[in-house]
Structure 1
Amino acid sequence: MSNTARTAARTAVVTGAASGIGTATARALAADGARVALLARRTDRLDTLAAEITAAGGRAIAVTADVTDQASVDAAAKAVHDAFGRVDLVVNNAGVMLPNPVAAGRVDEWTRMIDTNLTGVLRVIDAFTADLAAAAADGRPADLVNVSSIASHIAFPDYAVYGATKAAVTQLSAALRTELGPRDVRVSNIEPGLTDTELPHAIDNPELRGQLDGMFQQIPSLTAEDIAELIAFTVSRPKHVNLRHTVILPTRQA
């Protein structure tokens, strides 16, 4: 059975859909037949993406949401339910990467990463877990996909807090499998390596930005579409099959 056949008629939520992996994943899921709710802060980009998907024959809605704000997530969940009903596929992709030495004391960056990369993930999980469980109880596939990073298990200098948030996501995914797996909800954790997205644009440390630029010059990186294709494949497996933890790297990255 094709990916499209298995994904058709599903209802997906993709966070961080305004750029990078989120945008590519939304396109891939919509192309496979899913109705897709696009969640992110940048309304203009969401509107453009929703229009693009609709013009291509898909179904998508733009839902402005900030995963660091509980009221915003609550409102987004209501908007999704009002438009599409119950959700059976959630891709937790929203995240920020703000490296700096811990000794720099950048509490502002720590707070932003924890609020987005961990607490934001939890807010979205809380908003849609009941939907996933209900879909599974009806005999339908139900998927929670969390996008983590190889930084969850590989230490990079000056990325300690970012790595800690991603390690938390990976551990959260493992623990959730013990809670949701017995209810037939699949929980998958995706750990990309070097990927060409907008994440590096937020780095305000010139030395670290230069180091990362150097990596991109030396290693042919993954694209957002590479990750999206993996996510689409993961959620298109027969419902008794869970690709629980996938690490995806550029061939030249050790």
Structure 2
Amino acid sequence: MNQLNTRIAVITGASSGIGYATAKLLASRGAKVAVLARRADILEKLAAEITAAGGTALALPVDVTDQASVDAAAATVEQTWGPADLVFNNAGVMLPGAIEERDIAQWQHQIDLNVTGAMRVISAFVPQLTKAAAAGATVDLINTSSIAAQNIYPYFAVYSASKAYVSHLSRHLRAELGPKNIRVSVVEPGCTDTELQGHFTFPGALNWLAGARETITFLQPENVAEVVGFLAEQPKHVNLQQVVVMPTNQAS
């Protein structure tokens, strides 16, 4: 069933993991999907897969650390299909490390992408969401956070703080945008098998990851994509503001 066949969806961080899986799922349910990320070749492959399966996709290479890049993508979406009514704000990076290493470049990269990048996407697309809601559409802004926003993990301080920002931001935005009929949700996944773990270099984090894989069956990106689809398919007056999705055998 094409339950989302009137929706115009934007997915950031769409070149891998949760974003890639979510783009395919939303398209399979009828949404037009604009896929945004830096890696143009992977976006084109994703768009081709969606089109071959009977869906509609638009590949837009974007760097969410560059406001002009995000604004240009937003303009293209609206010019092509009209205002977006579903934004999955998902781009992010995880670079654990000890604070005493003083790796300021890694700290800054996580903040630029996870915090300021998320804000750039919101800045670019909230006008479209507002316009779509005023026209009577069902409208969603869904932000990707992490269970790390709630729990404490050694070596993940900066990443966890960046995700706590996203979670708390989402709660505030819901209070601000809900009266305009824009649903705001935050998804906080536990351990999920994505490219993020491939960026680890700090030995303490690598040891933690190896231990986690021995005891936890990690979520797959498709599992989180199903949650995003579920949020988008709720009746217009229903807003799940925060969803924590965890592997069954991950305690915290």
Shorter-chain TM-score bucket reads over 0.9
Aligned-partner Cα distance in 1 for 2:104–2:240: 36
Aligned-partner Cα distance in 2 for 1:8–1:253: 35
Aligned-partner Cα distance in 2 for 1:12–1:34: 6
1:27 aligns with 2:49: no
**What SS is found at the alignment partner of 2:153?**
coil
User: How far does the alpha carbon of each residue in 1:4-46 deviate from its partner, in whole angstroms, 9 at most, with x for none?
Assistant: 32x1121000000000000000001000100000000000100
Count the aligned residue pairs: 251
- TM-superposed deviation, 1:206: 2.9
**What SS is found at the alignment partner of 1:76?**
helix
Aligned to 2:201: 204
Aligned to 2:217: 220
Aligned to 2:74: 77
**Aligned 8 A contact 2:95 2:199 in 1:** yes
Aligned-partner Cα distance in 1 for 2:176–2:105: 33
Aligned to 1:39: 36
Aligned-partner Cα distance in 2 for 1:21–1:142: 20
Q: 1:1-254, aligned counterparts within 5 Å?
A: 4-5=2-3, 7-254=4-251
- TM-score normalised by the chain length of structure 2: 0.97
Aligned-partner Cα distance in 2 for 1:45–1:210: 30
**What SS is found at the alignment partner of 1:178?**
helix
Aligned-partner Cα distance in 1 for 2:140–2:97: 34
**What SS is found at the alignment partner of 1:209?**
helix
User: How far does the alpha carbon of each residue in 1:170-190 deviate from its partner, in whole angstroms, 9 at most, with x for none?
Assistant: 000000011100101000000
- Partner AA of 2:97 in structure 1: N
User: How far does the alpha carbon of each residue in 1:129-172 deviate from its partner, in whole angstroms, 9 at most, with x for none?
Assistant: 01111111111100000010010010100100000000000000
- TM-superposed deviation, 1:211: 1.8
- TM-score normalised by the chain length of structure 1: 0.97
Aligned-partner Cα distance in 2 for 1:53–1:93: 19
- Partner AA of 2:92 in structure 1: G
Q: Percent identity, please.
A: 53
**Aligned 8 A contact 2:142 2:187 in 1:** yes
Aligned-partner Cα distance in 2 for 1:216–1:173: 30
Q: Which moved more, 1:216-225 or 1:182-191?
A: 216-225
**What SS is found at the alignment partner of 1:222?**
coil
- TM-superposed deviation, 1:54: 0.2
- Structure 2 spans left out of the alignment, 5+ residues: none
**Aligned 8 A contact 2:155 2:204 in 1:** no
Aligned-partner Cα distance in 2 for 1:79–1:103: 44
- TM-superposed deviation, 1:57: 0.2
Please give the root-mean-square deviation of Cα atoms over the aligned residues, in Å. Answer: 1.0
- Structure 1 spans left out of the alignment, 5+ residues: none
Aligned-partner Cα distance in 2 for 1:173–1:104: 31
